[in-house]
Structure 1
Amino acid sequence: MFNLDKFIADFVTNRPVSMFAKDIEVNKKSLTAEIKGRKVCVIGGAGSIGSSFVKAILRFEPTSVVVVDLNENALAELVRDVRSTEGLYCPDEFRCYTLNFADPIFERIYREEKGFDIVANFSAHKHVRSEKDKYSVQALIENNDIKAKKLMDLLTVYPPKHFFCVSTDKAANPVNIMGASKRIMEDLVMAYNQYFKVTTARFANVAFSNGSLPDGWLHRLQKKQPLAAPFDVKRYFVSPEESGQICMLACILGNAGEVFFPKLDENQMLKFSTICDEFVKAEGFMKVECSNDSEARLYATNMSYESDTYPVVYFKSDTTGEKAYEEFYISGEEINMTRFFALGVVETTTRRSMLEIDTFFTELENIFKSSDFTKTEIIEAIKRFIPNFKHEEKGKNLDQRM
């Protein structure tokens, strides 16, 4: 039987145990003191990273956990997962709500609860493919930035002791609008450190996270469809468990304004095609490398269920927003690599005043009010706010790939 967690450990992260296990053990007393008996709110908590954060923080016995997510089915699975895991603490008050954090009902929950000790926001458009046209770009920025600002304003009513908002490695020297939106988000939330402690984390791809390319291979296999991957894109990877742990460590142990990232060496980067090769073998097949999508689809259609071969197609990346390499920090940021065993910390970085934030957000909202605004207008506005935003329009997006 295929074991996904073992496959990730053996062939993706090459780590039998979490890279953050030692940091968690060393800081167990501090983590317990800050989490045990506390009220926790997790926004976007049914996604891959959010649900891993929930499970990481439950081990330290909070008194109540409220989880908010738009994905009703994923929330149901989170509850089943938590209640089916041996040894995982689940408080009597474990509540899940299917709603948008920008909805009035969330504001009502927050005010009537009189806030939470710990608030973590994982609600975001996370895919490079989120950038297609002006409509998808507006939706991306509305969710990652404009609604996030509304949330931050609400939190000032009953300030949490710890607030965390997930970022991405793509926020460092961004080349796509998703990454740029996360950099904007970083500047936005950090401006609120004057009201409560804010931390964030930039980290690598989460192996087989919901909607990711590797996760798609699991679905393609179930449907007897070919597997596809770029042969020229190298990325850092962490396991789903590690993704929740890095967020918990940043949220609880970070100082105001800090950005956390995993200590990963360049030689730990992997090509998607290399992982796909191992995935095909782990599933008991020999790969048949096809020259194009049509050939791969035809092979899969004619393949019997008893076949010991499986079609793959590898391609050169040519879509808008793909970054040649990943990075966790940029020139001018003050980095500390010694505080933790497996975590680096951006302790000082350039931040914006609330006036700069408000001015930029007003500009964005005015652009969106126009009936004939363009994607180019949005890109140019972002470039004025983030001068190192190097966007290259290639005229093709990931939705045009198999």
Structure 2
Amino acid sequence: MFDLQKFINDFVTKRSQSMFLKDIEDNRGKLTRKIEGKTVLVIGGAGSIGSSFIKAILPFRPATLVVVDTNENALAELTRDLRSTKGMFIPEDYVPYPMDFASPVFEKMFRKRSGFDIVGNFSAHKHVRSEKDIYSVEALLKNNVLHAKLLLDLLAEFPPEEYFCVSTDKAANPVNIMGASKRIMEDVIFSYSDKFPVKTARFANVAFSNGSLPAGFIARLQKLQPISAPSDVKRYFVSPEESGQICMLACMLGKNREIFFPRLEEEQMMTFDKIATAFLEENGFEVLECASDGEAIEKAEDLKKGSLKYPVHYSGSDTSGEKAYEEFYTEQECVDLVRLKALGIVTDKEIPDKDKVKVLFNELTSVFEKEETTKEEVIVIMKAYLPNFEHIETGRSLDSKM
């Protein structure tokens, strides 16, 4: 039977255990004091990173865990997973809610509980493919930026002890709208840091996370469909377990307005075609490289006849917003590489100019209220706020490829 966790350890992260175990052990006492007996709200908690965050904090025995997510099926699976795991602590006050955190019913629930001690927000559009046209761009920016402010305004009435929100490595020198939205989100949450402590983390791709290209390899194999992957895009990877641990450590140990990131070396980057090849070979197949998506689709018919030659199409990336490499901080940011062993920390971030943030919000709100607007208009507004936002536009979306 294919062991996904072992495959990730052996071929993707190339680590036999989490790189953050030493930092967790060194800070176990502080983590216990921060979490034990506390009330915890996790938004977007049924996703890959949110659910891993939940699994990271539960051993420290919080008194309450409320999980909010719009994906009702994923919430059901999260509950089954937690209750089927040997030794997993689940507080008596555990409630999964299928709801939108920007909805009136969420606000009713939040007010009834008078807020929470710890709030983690993992609700986000995370894919570069989410900027294919003006409608997808509007949905992305409303979720990652505009609706996030609604939550922050509510939190300001019931200040939590800790607030954490996920950023991305693509926020450093962004070249796509998703990365730029997360960079703006960092300023938005930091503009509330005079009301309650806020922390975030930029981190690498989560290996085989929901909706990711590697997770698609599993789905393609199950359906005996061909695999397509870029051969020139290098990415850092962490395991699902590590993703939750990064967030827990940042949330509980971070100081106000700090950004955490994994300390990974450039030689640890992986390309997607190498992961695909290793995945297929581990499942007993020989890779059959094809010159196009169409050829790979045709050759995939032989899989149904028992062929062990698996058709793939590896090619260079030519879609909008793709960055050839990843980085966690810019030259202008102060970085602490001493405090923790496996995590670096961007420090000394100032409270952003609140008036500038307000102007950005008003401009985005106004442009989305227009009957007709364009992706280019939105990019102009975002560039005015982020002068280093160098958008890569090719006219092609990831949705045009396998």
Answer whether TM exceeds 0.5 for this pair: yes
Say if 2:47 and 2:210, in contact at 8 Å, map to a contact too.
Answer: yes
Instruction: State how 1:148-167 maps to structure 2 within 5 Å.
Output: 148-167=148-167
Give me the whole-angstrom Cα distance separating, in 1, the residues matched to 2:343 and 2:56: 16
Aligned AA for 1:36?
A: E
Match of 1:194, SS state, is coil
Say if 1:333 and 1:350, in contact at 8 Å, map to a contact too.
Answer: no
Match of 1:97, SS state, is strand
Deviations 1:27-48 (A, max 9, x none): 0000000100000000000000
Aligned AA for 2:68?
A: V
Say if 2:70 and 2:99, in contact at 8 Å, map to a contact too.
Answer: yes
Give me the whole-angstrom Cα distance separating, in 2, the residues matched to 1:223 and 1:125: 26
Give me the whole-angstrom Cα distance separating, in 2, the residues matched to 1:183 and 1:127: 15
The residue aligned with 2:19 is: 19
After TM superposition, the score normalised by the length of structure 2 is 0.99
Does residue 83 in structure 1 map to residue 69 in structure 2? no
The residue aligned with 2:269 is: 269
The residue aligned with 1:99 is: 99
Say if 1:45 and 1:51, in contact at 8 Å, map to a contact too.
Answer: yes
Give me the whole-angstrom Cα distance separating, in 1, the residues matched to 2:154 and 2:82: 29
The residue aligned with 1:295 is: 295
Structure 1 residue 306, shift from structure 2 partner: 2.7
Deviations 1:280-321 (A, max 9, x none): 111111111111111100111233353222111101100000
Q: Could you list the structure 1 runs, at least 4 aligned residues long, displaced by more than 6 angstroms after superposition.
A: none
Match of 1:170, SS state, is helix
After TM superposition, the score normalised by the length of structure 1 is 0.99
Structure 1 residue 324, shift from structure 2 partner: 1.1
Give me the whole-angstrom Cα distance separating, in 2, the residues matched to 1:21 and 1:305: 46
Give me the whole-angstrom Cα distance separating, in 2, the residues matched to 1:335 and 1:217: 36
Aligned AA for 1:38?
A: K
Instruction: State how 1:164-203 maps to structure 2 within 5 Å.
Output: 164-203=164-203
Aligned AA for 2:366?
A: N
Say if 2:172 and 2:330, in contact at 8 Å, map to a contact too.
Answer: yes
Give me the whole-angstrom Cα distance separating, in 1, the residues matched to 2:66 and 2:305: 44
The residue aligned with 1:319 is: 319
Match of 2:192, SS state, is helix
Deviations 1:334-359 (A, max 9, x none): 10001001000001235522222111
Say if 1:66 and 1:96, in contact at 8 Å, map to a contact too.
Answer: yes
Match of 2:340, SS state, is coil
Give me the whole-angstrom Cα distance separating, in 1, the residues matched to 2:307 and 2:93: 50
Say if 2:201 and 2:250, in contact at 8 Å, map to a contact too.
Answer: yes
Structure 1 window deviating more from structure 2 (113-122 vs 304-313): it is 304-313
Give me the whole-angstrom Cα distance separating, in 2, the residues matched to 1:281 and 1:351: 50
5+ residue gaps, structure 2: none
Match of 1:42, SS state, is strand
Does residue 243 in structure 1 map to residue 246 in structure 2? no
The residue aligned with 1:392 is: 392
What is the RMSD of the two structures over their aligned residues, measured on CA atoms?
0.8
Say if 1:367 and 1:378, in contact at 8 Å, map to a contact too.
Answer: yes
Count of aligned pairs? 402
Say if 1:37 and 1:61, in contact at 8 Å, map to a contact too.
Answer: yes
Structure 1 residue 87, shift from structure 2 partner: 1.2
The residue aligned with 1:140 is: 140
The residue aligned with 2:362 is: 362
5+ residue gaps, structure 1: none
Deviations 1:112-161 (A, max 9, x none): 10110000000000000001111110010000000000000000111000
Instruction: State how 1:53-132 maps to structure 2 within 5 Å.
Output: 53-132=53-132
What's the % identity of the aligned pairs? 58
Give me the whole-angstrom Cα distance separating, in 2, the residues matched to 1:9 and 1:237: 11
Aligned AA for 1:16?
A: S
